[in-house]
Amino acid sequence: MTPVVSIENLKDHVGEEVTLQGWLYRKTGKGKLQFLQVRDGTGICQAVVFKGNVSPEDFAAGKSLTQESSLRVTGLVKEESRAPGVPGGYELDVRELEAVQLAEPYPISPKEHGVEFLMANRHLWLRSSRQWAAMRVRAVIIQAIREWLDGHGYLNVDTPIITPAAAEGTTTLFEIDYHGEPAYLAQTGQLYNEANIFAFGKVYCFGPTFRAEKSKTRRHLQEFWMVEPEIAFCDLDQLMDIEEQFISHIVQRCLRECAAELQVLERDTTHLERVTPSFPRIHYDEAVAMINEAAAKGELVPGYDEPVPPMEWGDDFGSPHETYLAAQFDKPVFVHHYPTQVKAFYMESEPGRPEVCRSVDLLAPEGYGEITGGSERMSDPDKLLAAIHAHDLPEEAYGWYLDLRRYGSTVHSGFGLGVERTVAWICGLDHVRETIAFPRTLTTMRP
RNA sequence: UCCUCGGUAGCUCAAUCGGCAGAGCAUCCGGCUGUUAACCGGACGGUUGUUGGUUCGAGUCCAACCCGGGGAGCCA
């Protein structure tokens, strides 16, 4: 028996006879010669079957292989510059071939397909190399997230998914029946994170989160993953310091470890290589001025083919505004001190300027939009109670949250990072539905 | 919810002014010793999203509905 090796490790077996087990990704041939592209989950390798090197039965078995048939091939590993694949450059000179199962006609051909068809066949689409690459990068991003937080003193304390009420009171929630009582799927773990920091200092929660909004854009899912760090004794400026270290670590680790995947995705990594501390920081006032100046000059929003729309101070940015702003910088950009009225009730207001709050969003370059949202949290119990009243929220539901300000309150801050938007940005994908194995979009719940 | 574009073979698309529903790919058969989404020859493949209307005649025109894409709002 020859050893079974994985394609990602083939480079260590040049000149040896090995067995690959996997699936037929593509096939082409020329009479007495067959080129089988075999994938095994770790990569794609070309296996060359020459009639003179194998038994007549094995040669016939090779010819009979259909796309996505499962197989085992044994042969000699060769370095070969002509060999396609991932990572490519190595091929298997086949001596034995076993068809494990001949696949029925496979619906996803190497030609182009529409989104509707591919989404209906998501369970098969995942085998395609671009989807494979995106999922591998996603996994590395998640590793990098945990690695950085675990290595910087953050304790992973996960927060409930079933919650009694809207944490922020604004967005639409999925309602479930909790033994006769209405309950909701969490849209953030943040309020619970705030309880946790008073026990553990620095924490993060990492899990799925749910938004029932009728959002139908390339940046939205109904179910998505979010990591939310929260830090005691941390103000807004320190929060931005943390975020830029954190984001830079994630990007740099992907560049180091996912070169083959990013190449499959045809990602131009020059933008990503610049993602190192520090990131530009602009005040909301300044951002509004930039937008209105661009609007007055009739500048176009990159990629939209329409002029930058003017805006009033006090409004939140629209999607074209965010895209314009992000395009003015060659790194992710922090926009801080948003108007209090467009942000959540728990954000700390700026001393001497109550109309703005100590909040910050991070806008990714290249039109990927907001990837983090965070703030310094309100720490005074009386101010917080007034904010709860001002937002018409039920005081009794926030009793425990107010308690946090009564027993050892301190300045504290936190943010949430959307995993799918981060994956889309790093992979250069044009839609978040390709950043998670089985996306839940407004129109798709199956498979 | 609103704006906008679309739905024709398993897939991607074409079909002139309303006049015989057509290609490529996939699949099957045959050929080829270096293919990169190979190539060459042949075969198979249709309730034109649904319902109704106009017409001698509808894929094409009209109405309603269904499904999907892109965008807006909201957000990560």
Cβ proximity of A49 and A32 under 8 Å:
no
Helix (H, G, I), strand (E, B) or coil at A102: coil
User: Which residues, 6 or more positions from A44, have their beta carbon under 8 angstroms from its beta carbon?
Assistant: A7, A25, A37, A38, A84, A85, A86, A88, A129
| Structural domain spans, chain A | 7-101, 123-280+329-434
Cβ proximity of A137 and A254 under 8 Å:
yes
Question: With the CA atoms of A57, A62, A63 and A66 taken in that order, what torsion angle do they form, in degrees rounded to the nearest 10?
Answer: 130
Question: Nearest to residue A337, comparing CAs of A391, A367, A374, A363?
Answer: A374
Q: What is the CATH T-level fold of the domain A7-101, as seen in this structure?
A: OB fold (Dihydrolipoamide Acetyltransferase, E2P) (2.40.50)
CA of A94 to C1' of B53 (A): 65
Q: Which nucleotide is nearest to A322 (CA to C1')?
A: B75
CA of A411 to C1' of B58 (A): 72
Using a 7 Å cut-off to protein CB atoms, list the covered nucleotides of chain B. Answer: 1-2, 10-13, 24-28, 31-38, 67-76
CA of A54 to C1' of B58 (A): 59
Whether the complex's predicted ipTM surpasses the cut of 0.85: yes
CA of A116 to C1' of B46 (A): 21
CA of A277 to C1' of B9 (A): 55
Rounded Cα gap, residues A27 and A46, in angstroms: 9
- First-to-last alpha carbon distance for chain A, in angstroms, is 39
DSSP string covering A74-98, please? Answer: EEEEEE-TT--EES-SEEEEEEEEE
Q: Which nucleotide is nearest to A373 (CA to C1')?
A: B76
pLDDT tens, residue order, chain A (447 aa): 799 999 999 999 999 999 999 999 998 888 889 999 999 999 999 999 998 899 988 998 898 898 999 999 999 999 998 899 998 899 999 999 999 998 888 888 877 888 889 998 999 999 999 999 999 999 999 999 999 999 999 999 999 999 887 555 545 888 888 998 888 899 899 999 999 999 999 999 999 999 888 888 888 999 999 999 999 999 999 999 999 999 999 999 999 999 999 999 999 999 899 999 999 999 999 999 999 999 998 888 887 778 889 999 999 999 889 999 999 998 999 999 999 999 999 999 999 999 999 999 999 988 888 999 999 999 999 999 999 998 888 888 899 999 999 999 999 999 999 999 999 999 999 899 999 999 999 888 888
Rounded Cα gap, residues A68 and A38, in angstroms: 9
Residue A164 phi/psi, 5-degree rounding, is -80, -20
Comparing every residue's Cα with the C1' atom of nucleotide B31, the nearest one is: A31
The angle formed by the CA atoms of residues A414, A235 and A279, to the nearest 5 degrees, is 80
User: Which residues, 6 or more positions from A242, have their beta carbon under 8 angstroms from its beta carbon?
Assistant: A229, A231, A234
User: Which residues, 6 or more positions from A296, have their beta carbon under 8 angstroms from its beta carbon?
Assistant: A310
Q: For domain A123-280+329-434, is the CATH number 3.30.930.10?
A: yes
